[in-house]
Amino acid sequence: MSFDIDIAYRRGTHDIALRLIAKPGLTALFGPSGAGKTSLLNMVAGLLRPDRGHIRIGDETLFDSKAGIDLPPERRRAGYVFQDGRLFPHRRVRDNLLYGWKLAAPAQRWITLEESIAFLDIAPLLDRWPATLSGGEAQRVAIGRALLSGPRFLLMDEPLASLDRARREEIMAMIERIRDELQFPILYVSHDRSEVERLASSIITL
Amino acid sequence: MVSSRSAIGDLMLTPEEWAIVLLSLKVSGVAVMLTLPVAFGLAWILARGRFPGKLLIDAIVHLPLVVPPVVTGWLLLLAFGKQGPVGHWLDHWFGISLMFRWTGAALAAAVMALPLMVRAMRLSIEAVDRRLEGAARTLGARPARVFWTITVPLSLPGVLAGVVLGLARSIGEFGATITFVSNIPGETQTLPLAIYSALQLPGGEALVARLALISVALSLGALLLSELLARRTGRGGPGHVL
């Protein structure tokens, strides 16, 4: 499976026109703040609507302005890890993790709660409230929540931005495992060159 | 209704006082319960909607807050009286009349409570982080599920605040009620109206004081209860009503 994206978007001073074909593995979108990297992820996730163009994943079309196709976000099966975690503050960690898992069809799930807990090392956090987590803990839970929702591709928006050095190393190793073991496409936004060079299978500069 | 008078210091309520308190609670409780969905819907539209005429709806909702209550009561009388458009329709099709009934008192209280409830709920809906709703969508939740699992729980402290403000306003409602449904003991005579009647009676001072104390106690109790509820439900967010 791969991404085939060709979109144009313009709002005020924001002007994005982009064409990319991303192979399986991790494709890094690299560039300065304000280049529209997050907007692009939002368009792939269905949270932002391009003016024209198309977004395809494998042989399924998520968006096509000519054909009038625009799948709502809940049907795109994106595993979106946001820069700020965006955990639900009124649900404990366990319920955050299970939010998408419960909504996914059984056939779409490819990881269990137990597996994700072991993989991300978050067993001690399950009964905590998101407000009590550190940045690194929250980011690991956010990754777990995205994986558990049964996605077929991942969108990661600077998942390391809020972390200190030790935690960055830990999460990077985790992302490498996801990249190598799951073999599905990942769009990864960053403005840190060393991070991108280490993780990316291919790099696209915006 | 003042046949058996008790001293100010007597902690037990007389049957007459109980009747007044229960009627007040019934009227304000029904008023707030019926207003809750309407107020939430209006708050939602005002917080999230973008359409021409929004300013006008906003202004109309707030009207009972600034118009003299006696005018609101008179307008209700015009609309819901036997000859009024709504009153005539209700009477003709359902045989219902709100005139001089406790249900009319509840309607008056509901109209007066509406602006306060809408204001509190609107603020709390506006405070919900919409990016969390987007996150829920990407996790597979349809808009209706996002509404019930994310938006409603996160705006709950404000909804509770709205309910308490509405209750307080309803229990205290006077002008619109006495204009619309008059002051009938046992039917429309809520606490403030009973206090007003007692003030007209020679030697009614003790009863006035007791009823006034009861209203203060009721209002205080409602505020404390809502604060406790908000603290229990508002984890991770600002969980305060007071």
DSSP helix/strand/coil, A205: strand
pLDDT at A30: 86
Say if residue B1's pLDDT is above 60: no
Percent of chain B exceeding pLDDT 70 equals 90
Residue B242 lies in a domain: no
Contact A71, A44 (CB under 8 A): no
Q: How far apart are CA A188 and CA A31, in angstroms?
A: 11
pLDDT band at B209 (very low <50, low <70, confident <90, very high): very high
Q: Which residue has the higher pLDDT, B38 or A161?
A: B38
Residue B204 lies in a domain: yes
pLDDT at B7: 61
- Residue A129 and residue B236: Cβ atoms within 8 Å? yes
pLDDT band at B238 (very low <50, low <70, confident <90, very high): very low
Residue B127 lies in a domain: yes
pLDDT at B12: 80
State residue A176 phi and psi, 5-degree precision. -60, -40
Contact A51, A65 (CB under 8 A): yes
3-class DSSP string for chain B = CCCCCCCCCCCCCCHHHHHHHHHHHHHHHHHHHHHHHHHHHHHHHHHHCCCCCHHHHHHHHHHHHHCCHHHHHHHHHHHHCCCCHHHHHHHHHHCCCCCCCHHHHHHHHHHHHHHHHHHHHHHHHHHCCHHHHHHHHHCCCCHHHHHHHHHHHHHHHHHHHHHHHHHHHHHHCCHHHHHHHCCCCCCCCCHHHHHHHHHHCCCCHHHHHHHHHHHHHHHHHHHHHHHHHHHHHCCCCCCCCC
pLDDT at B96: 80
- Residue A131 and residue B153: Cβ atoms within 8 Å? no
Tens digit of each residue's pLDDT (9 = 90 or more) over B168-185: 889 999 999 999 999 999
Residue B2 lies in a domain: no
pLDDT band at B144 (very low <50, low <70, confident <90, very high): very high
- The shortest CB-CB distance from B139 to any of A84, A90, A145 is to A145
Question: Chain B within 8 Å of A37 (Cβ-Cβ)?
Answer: no
pLDDT at A121: 86
pLDDT at B8: 61
pLDDT at B5: 53
Residue B123 lies in a domain: yes
Contact B108, B76 (CB under 8 A): yes
Residue B13 lies in a domain: no
Question: Chain B within 8 Å of A106 (Cβ-Cβ)?
Answer: no
pLDDT at B236: 44
Question: Chain B within 8 Å of A78 (Cβ-Cβ)?
Answer: yes
**Minimal CA–CA distance to B136: which of A107, A95, A93, A73?**
A73
Asked if CATH classification 3.40.50.300 holds for the domain at A3-205, the reply, yes or no, is yes
DSSP helix/strand/coil, A21: strand
- Residue A89 and residue B154: Cβ atoms within 8 Å? yes
DSSP helix/strand/coil, A30: strand
Percent of chain B exceeding pLDDT 90 equals 62
Residue B48 lies in a domain: yes
Count residue pairs from A and B with Cβ separation < 8 A: 69
Q: Where are the beta strands (DSSP E) in chain A?
A: 3-11, 14-22, 26-30, 52-57, 60-64, 69-70, 78-81, 153-157, 186-190, 202-205
pLDDT at A144: 93
Please state which of the ranges A5-19, B185-199, B223-237 shows the lowest mean pLDDT: B223-237
Residue B213 Cα, gap to closest chain A Cα (Å): 38
Contacts B147 to A, Cβ<8 Å: none
- Residue A77 and residue B137: Cβ atoms within 8 Å? no
CATH number at residue B117: 1.10.3720.10
Residue B206 lies in a domain: yes
User: Which of A95-99, A137-141, B16-20, B162-166 has maximum average pLDDT?
Assistant: A95-99
Contacts B140 to A, Cβ<8 Å: 74, 77, 100, 103-104, 149-150
The mean predicted confidence, pLDDT, of chain B is: 87
pLDDT at A10: 87
Residues of chain A with pLDDT under 70: none
Say if residue B241's pLDDT is above 50: no
- Secondary structure element (H or E) that encloses residue A142, with its range: helix A135-148
Say if residue B237's pLDDT is above 80: no
Task: State the complex-level ipTM.
Answer: 0.91
Range of the domain at B91: 18-233
Question: What is the number of domains present in chain B?
Answer: 1
Q: How far is residue B158 from each of residues A53, A175, B164, measured CA to CA in Å?
A: 42, 40, 10
**What is the DSSP secondary-structure string of A50-83?**
-SEEEEEETTEEEEETTTTEE--GGGT-EEEE-T
pLDDT at B6: 55
* Type of residue at B30: V
Domain chopping of chain A, boundaries: 3-205
Q: How far is residue B139 from each of residues A37, A43, A201, B32, measured CA to CA in Å?
A: 21, 15, 26, 35
Question: Chain B within 8 Å of A129 (Cβ-Cβ)?
Answer: yes
- Residue A90 and residue B154: Cβ atoms within 8 Å? yes
Tens digit of each residue's pLDDT (9 = 90 or more) over B64-122: 999 999 999 999 999 998 888 888 888 888 878 888 899 999 999 999 999 999 999 99
Say if residue B2's pLDDT is above 50: no
Chain B: residue whose CA lies nearest to A143: B139
Q: Which residue has the higher pLDDT, A179 or B235?
A: A179
